[in-house]
Every structure is written in structure tokens, then in C-alpha cells.
Structure 1
Amino acid sequence: MTHADELLDRYRAALIPVFGVPQTVLSHGDGCYVVDVDGKRYLDLLGGIAVNTLGHGHPALVEAITKQVSQVMHISNFFTSEPQVELAEKVIEICRAPEGSGVFFSNSGAEAIEAAIKLSRRTGRSRIIAAQNAFHGRTTGALALTWKVAYRAPFEPLMPGVTHVPYNDTAALEAAVAEAGDDLAAVVLEPIQGEAGVILADPAYLRLARELTTRAGALLVLDEIQCGMGRTGHWLAHHATDVVPDAVTLAKGLAGGVPVGALVTYGPAVTGLLTGGQHGSTFGGNPLACAAGLATIRTIETDGLLAHAAGMGAALADGVEALGHPRVSGTRGRGLLLAITLTQPVAASAMSLARAAGFLVNAVAPDALRLAPPLILGQGEIDSFLAALPGLLDAAEVAG
């Protein structure tokens, strides 16, 4: 029995099995690579599901966290800290939010969505429109906005008043807004549906959502939890359009692996919807998470990682398509949030074979492999994956 097998047996005995049995037990990482407890090394092309923005063990992040740990990690929100104030200012800046905007720090993306739901209720309205195939989180409010029946059904009835419309369907969105009428509080959309298989919103669809919500006096909330923080080559995925939302939610890559989320409100009218005592979090905005967030953002800026993510993402997508493999139908996504689409439902088999070969990817759908690597990914890592991919897909065809 390997050390990993032993630890997985202990995992089964000690943890609530909501995740199933993990694929392996990881010990440490360096850059774009991770190593398991038995010494096997993997190229991490999943990045903790778009979390490990700077990879593993990045000196800037290690230094910032180490320094903050030596000073203070937690102070509660009866007090503030310099990192919290500075990170809020920096988040407003990278979000291109106008004067009078604000930030609420949470501990996760689901909590940021919960804050957005409460924000929308402060309009005095209760109806929310979300998209089919959306994923916004597993807490009960966020789950009401999430589409997948398998996630929702065991916990129904959920929060009422949520309508799901087909993604990118302008006529359906218009009809739903009209049906909600004066009770429409918000439209909540992902600019890229990551969990659905990396599906991009049509810019015209986002523009229509903006026009309809403005006309209805409702909020447009964009969920940038997975696709934000530079992953697409823009700070936020919707920055590729001219759409300005009323609020965005952030998490995942915001602090490079330290848990933190954020609701960002745009302008004084929206920011003023939540007032004293109407929301809170014991750990939200703690100095440790905020110091990590600042280090992450500053490193993205100083190292030019927005342009790097765009360039490496294009190289990766072009390289996959240039293989001309009969089991690859194409790629979807932008920057370093990509899906390799397959002609057969063999993604789970391909993911398992890739792991055995030393590559971590994710079967996000039966016919799609998701890639969300650290933004520091280099051409050498891309080349090694592209060299291995044809053989993995050939083997997956047999195993699948």
C-alpha cells in the first residue's frame, strides 16, 4: 500500500464524503507543478480550479503571507487593517468601478453570491433571473441560482423567485424580464460559464442584459468568480465588452490560493443599498487573505501576466487544434480558461489517463476537458502537454 492509499483510507474514515474519494494526495508544489505524497510530479493544468493564479510557492505570495502571519492574521471586523483597505482600493481599480463604489469581502465565491442576493433584495424586489447551466455556488441562496438539478433537488424547496433562461438566448431573456415586471431585482450571469464547459457569453447578450436591467430599474450582477482575476487576459472577462455592471462577484484567483471572495458594487447608489448591520462575516477581509490578495494583484501587474495569459492561452488553443486529432472537435474559452472539446464522451477516461501520465486536467463535461492553469504557464509546459495529448486521447477512446 502506498502512502497515498493509506491517507485515502483515512480520508474515507474521517471526512463527510461530499467530494467522493480524491484522485490522489498532494504534498507540495513549485511553479506550475505539484508533487504527491509518493513523489510523483504533475503539471498542474487545473490550478485548483482557476485558483492558483501565481502557481505554487511563488516568492511574492510566500513573502507577503509570511510577513502578515508574523504580524496579525485575524482581528474581526470590529477593526480594520491596512491590507484590507489597500486591497479594497485595488479591487475597485482593477474592476474599473466608478467613484463611490465599494467592496464587501467574504471567504468564498458562494458567500460573495449570497451578498449579491441580499444586495438585490435591498431594491425592494424579489425576482432574480439566472441562466440555464449556471453555477453560482452550493450555499442555499447561491444554489437557487445554480442550474444543475442534481445539486438542487436534494435541498428543495430553495429560495423562490428565481427564473432560469437559456444562456445566450436574447429572446428568452427579454421575455423573462418582461414577465418579472416591476418585481425584477437582478439578472445574474457568468460572462463565461466555467462549470458548464467553458461557454462564452455573446457580447450582444451581455449588452442586452445591461439594457434590459437598466430599463427595468434592476441590477446586473456579473459572476466573475472563475473567469476573473486576469484569467482571460483581461482583469475581468466582461472587460472584453463595453458592458458596465452594477455589481461583480470575485473569489478563486483573487488571493492566489488563500480563501477570499468579494462583492464589488458600482457607484454610490448601488453601494448604498447595503447599510450598517445588514451583512457581515467574522473572517471576511482578514489581514492574511487581504495581504495575499494584494501580492497576487501586484505580481500580475509587475510581471505582465494579463498579456502573458492571453498569449499562452492562444498558444495552447492553437496547439490543440493544430494536432488535428480525430477525437478533438475544437477548443472553447479565452486566455487560460479553456475547454478541449471532444467528439466522444471520453473526458473522464482522458482525465484519468492524463493524471497517470503526470498532467492534471478536469473532465468538466463528458465531452470536454477543462484547463485553468496558473497564469505563469510557459511554452515549455504547453509543449509537453501537447506532445502527450494525442496518445492520451487515443488511449481514452479504447478505455472510454
Structure 2
Amino acid sequence: MAFTPSATEALMYITQRPDIAFVRGEGSWLEDHRGKRYLDIVQGWAVNCLGHCPPEISHALDVQSKLLLNPSPAFYNLPSIELAQRLTRSSGLDRVFFTNSGAEANEGAIKLARKWGQLNRSGAFEIITFRDSFHGRTLATMSASGKPGWDTLFAPQVDGFPKAIINDIDSVRALIGPNTVGIMLEPVQGEAGVVPATHEFMAALRMLADEHGILLICDEVQTGMGRTGTMFAFQQSGIVPDIMTLAKGIGGGVPLGALLARESVSVFVPGDQGGTYNGNPLMTAVGVAVFDALNAPGFLDQVQARSRQLSNGLSAIADRHGMPGERGLGLLRALVLDRPDGADIVLAARDREPEGLLLNCPRPNLLRFMPALNITEAEMDLMLAQLEEIIIQVRATA
């Protein structure tokens, strides 16, 4: 069909979108209905870890779609078993429950922790989370999130999520009480503006959880699957959580998530957890293909090389234009601006001719970068050069 703005009226309005429709993508590039190309540094908010339409995913979908789509979660299927084995072996955790999204995985983590608390901590149910955190858009995960205003958006919120401060271990310790069952955090707070938890803080959380006999839950929806240069971000801190959640990169663009836990924490019984599409072979076959691509010899070495290139390039831009600097882990990074013109930069980048550049601005004074993990050195150089041109252009007309 031909795209017209009026054709979008059948869609529910949930966000402001520009009057363009993307029709195809390949690697780090998208093309809209007019034929204009865009270098995509957002990649579905860190979803497309192998870029747009990678051959590994296309092949997995083609093969599996001719074999079996969904026998129902009441039965085993081979791709889900194969992916579960890969995830447990690489993470050090023991059990996997597959979901369709990160919010669903985090909702499952909350339920699992509360069930464990019923059995092991006299009904303890509180999970300490963090200010400015983001865990999803269900009622429970919105309540767990520390995003300002979310505690009243769909009030009343779900109780049981006291908020600590990232990288402040004393703020966590002060919230632990008889009703505490766990601590839940993102190793890098993405929506907050790419704020990493320090390795020292992660290690201190592990020790604190062990000291009090409570659970440590890592929300690796955005940081997992190679995004930070290791398979999982927690591995850089030398710890293993009790529960971990995954989504985004695990499916490389298809709806897939996962809840992982230690054997001793895997206390669900039949009827506690489920889902019509959970662990279906079509999506988990893609997960197997993505996992194997990320773990191919040299792949994560290239992620780390591109991470250094991005970090150095952003630091150089910051130095030349008097900005505070850059931060992040791996290929999840942010450029901290010296003024609140991030939205103007994003708009100018998208409208750039003849080719656009897709950027993300989670805060007015900050740009977030989430490129495909297999972005090339040349594409990264092109992005950095275009970014600086756009910053100069925007500020010359301000």
C-alpha cells in the first residue's frame, strides 16, 4: 500500500511519530517510503543486535516456519531447549522461562522473587529498586521503575518497591528490612541517560544480598546479549545474580525475552507462570541463531573495538565543543551535552539530506547511542562525522 499520514488514523495514538514509514532495512541502514536512507544508531532501542534483516535471522525464520510454529507451551519443542541450554551454560544460571518481552520477563522475575520470599523469608515481598530505573510498562514493572511520575500515571501503583540510589550502597542498606526479598537493578540505567552501575557497586550489592539472605536480580533487557562487550554486563563485575532477565537483543528484532534463575530460586510450580506464545519454536529458533552469531569467534572482540571507537569519538566531540563528556558500557553509550538541545539535534539528524541519521534523546541534554553490534568501522566513522556536522549546524541557527 502507498503510505499517507491519513492512513495512520486506524492506529491508536501512543506517541508522536514523523510522517514517514520505513519499508526496508539492511544492517545499519533503513529506507523509508520515499526511498530515503537513514543510518540507524537506535536499532529499535538496542533490539536489532545484528542490524536490520540479518541473514542469520531470515534463514532461521525460513527454516523453522516450515517445521513448527507453536505446539503450545504444554509441550516441549527443540529450539527452546537448545536456546535454554546455551543461555544457562553462558550465564552460570540454571533455569530459563521464555517470554515475549522484557516487561514480561521482569514481571516474571518479580513474581518469582515474591514466591521465593513466601517459601524462604516468611512472606517477604519488597524488592529494592532504584531512582530513575526502567523495568517495563506493566503495572508492576512501572511501579518497580523509578521513572519520575510513573507512580501516579495509573494509580494506585503496586506496592513493595522502595527506591535506592544507583552507586550508593548505603542507600540500599538503609532500605533492607524484614519484608525485603531482593534487590533489582539495571547494570546500566538506559532510560535514565546511560548511567552505569560501577563494578564496585555491583560487587557490593552481591555481598549485601548474601549477608542478608536476599536475592540479587539483574535486569539485562538492554545490557545483555553482547551489548556491553561481554555476553552479559554482570560478568564484568565478577559476580553472578540469583535472577536475570533478558529481551531486546536476545531475539535480534523478533519478540523474545527470558527469565533466568538459580536452581534454588526456581520455585514456580505448575499454574504459577505461563503464556500462550512463551518459548514457541519460531522465536526461540531465532534466539539460537542470534546467540550463535554473537558467540562466533571474534564477534565480541569487534564489539569491544567499535565500543572504543565510539567512546573515543564522542569524547573528542565533547572536548571540541566544551561538553561534559561521554559515558556508558560497550555499545550502549551517551554523549552528555552542555545545553538542552538534544531534541533539536535528533530532529536535524533525521531530516538531514540526502541521507538521514537516526539518534535518540532520552534526556534534553543527552544523546544515547545503541548501534547494531556488527556496525562497521566505516559506518561508525560516518556517524561521528555526521553527528558533529549536525551539532554545529543546530547551534549555528539557535
1:399 Cα offset (Å): 5.5
Residue matched to 2:100: 107
1:136 equivalent to 2:135? Answer: yes
Matching residue within 300, 308, 313 for 1:314? 308
Q: What does 1:367-386 align with in structure 2 at a 5 Å threshold?
A: 367-386=365-384
1:182 Cα offset (Å): 2.1
SS at match of 1:354: helix
Residue matched to 1:161: 160
- Contact (CA 8 Å) 2:131, 2:164: kept in 1 or not? yes
1:246 Cα offset (Å): 0.3
Residue matched to 1:10: 7
SS at match of 2:159: coil
User: What is the distance in 2 between the residues matched to 1:139 and 1:48?
Assistant: 19
1:10 Cα offset (Å): 2.1
1:307 Cα offset (Å): 1.3
Matching residue within 261, 265, 289 for 1:265? 261
Q: What does 1:212-231 align with in structure 2 at a 5 Å threshold?
A: 212-231=208-227
Residue matched to 1:338: 333
User: What is the distance in 2 between the residues matched to 1:152 and 1:17?
Assistant: 22
**Gap regions ≥5 residues in structure 1:** none
User: What is the distance in 2 between the residues matched to 1:26 and 1:16?
Assistant: 18
Q: In terms of mean alpha carbon deviation, does 296-305 or 380-389 score higher?
A: 296-305
1:216 Cα offset (Å): 1.8
Residue matched to 1:362: 360
Residue matched to 2:393: 395
The one-letter amino acid of 1:347's match is G
User: What is the distance in 1 between the residues matched to 2:201 and 2:88?
Assistant: 25
**Gap regions ≥5 residues in structure 2:** 119-123
User: What is the distance in 2 between the residues matched to 1:176 and 1:193?
Assistant: 20
SS at match of 2:142: helix
1:395 Cα offset (Å): 2.5
For each residue in 1:14-71, what CA deviation from the matched residue of structure 2 results, as whole angstroms up to 9, or x when unmatched?
1221122356311111111111111110111111111101111211111111101111
- Contact (CA 8 Å) 1:327, 1:393: kept in 2 or not? no
Residue matched to 2:113: 120
Pair 152,304 (structure 1): closer, same or farther in 2 beyond 3 Å: farther
Residue matched to 1:58: 54
SS at match of 2:295: helix
- Contact (CA 8 Å) 1:325, 1:390: kept in 2 or not? no
The one-letter amino acid of 1:119's match is L
Pair 390,367 (structure 1): closer, same or farther in 2 beyond 3 Å: same
1:191 equivalent to 2:187? Answer: yes
Residue matched to 1:33: 29
- Contact (CA 8 Å) 1:106, 1:284: kept in 2 or not? yes
User: What RMSD in Å do the two structures reach over aligned CA positions?
Assistant: 1.6
Q: Any runs of at least 4 consecutive aligned residues in structure 1 with deviations exceeding 6 A, and if so which?
A: none
User: What is the distance in 2 between the residues matched to 1:66 and 1:319?
Assistant: 39
For each residue in 1:188-237, what CA deviation from the matched residue of structure 2 results, as whole angstroms up to 9, or x when unmatched?
01100011111000112112211222122211100000011001110011
User: What is the distance in 2 between the residues matched to 1:92 and 1:342?
Assistant: 40
- Contact (CA 8 Å) 2:98, 2:279: kept in 1 or not? yes
User: What is the distance in 2 between the residues matched to 1:105 and 1:175?
Assistant: 34
The one-letter amino acid of 2:28's match is C
TM-score normalised by length of structure 2: 0.94
1:306 Cα offset (Å): 1.3
Residue matched to 2:286: 292
- Contact (CA 8 Å) 1:337, 1:371: kept in 2 or not? yes
1:75 Cα offset (Å): 1.5
TM-score normalised by length of structure 1: 0.94
User: What is the distance in 1 between the residues matched to 2:151 and 2:254?
Assistant: 28
SS at match of 1:302: coil
- Contact (CA 8 Å) 2:143, 2:150: kept in 1 or not? no
1:340 Cα offset (Å): 1.1
Q: In terms of mean alpha carbon deviation, does 245-254 or 294-303 score higher?
A: 294-303
Residue matched to 1:305: 299
1:329 equivalent to 2:333? Answer: no
Residue matched to 2:63: 67
For each residue in 1:284-314, what CA deviation from the matched residue of structure 2 results, as whole angstroms up to 9, or x when unmatched?
1011110000000111122532111111011
- Contact (CA 8 Å) 2:132, 2:148: kept in 1 or not? no
- Contact (CA 8 Å) 1:105, 1:263: kept in 2 or not? yes
The one-letter amino acid of 2:213's match is G
Residue matched to 1:146: 145
User: What is the distance in 2 between the residues matched to 1:90 and 1:182?
Assistant: 36
SS at match of 2:153: helix
- Contact (CA 8 Å) 1:184, 1:216: kept in 2 or not? no
SS at match of 1:316: helix
For each residue in 1:305-346, what CA deviation from the matched residue of structure 2 results, as whole angstroms up to 9, or x when unmatched?
211111101101102222333153211112111111111111
1:351 equivalent to 2:346? Answer: yes
Q: In terms of mean alpha carbon deviation, does 69-78 or 290-299 score higher?
A: 69-78
Count of aligned pairs between the two proteins: 388
The one-letter amino acid of 1:231's match is R
SS at match of 2:171: helix
- Contact (CA 8 Å) 1:231, 1:306: kept in 2 or not? no
User: What is the distance in 2 between the residues matched to 1:34 and 1:228?
Assistant: 24
User: What is the distance in 2 between the residues matched to 1:250 and 1:118?
Assistant: 16
User: What is the distance in 1 between the residues matched to 2:198 and 2:310?
Assistant: 22
User: What is the distance in 2 between the residues matched to 1:372 and 1:208?
Assistant: 28
- Contact (CA 8 Å) 1:32, 1:44: kept in 2 or not? yes
- Contact (CA 8 Å) 1:106, 1:112: kept in 2 or not? yes
SS at match of 2:279: coil
- Contact (CA 8 Å) 2:164, 2:175: kept in 1 or not? yes
Residue matched to 1:274: 268
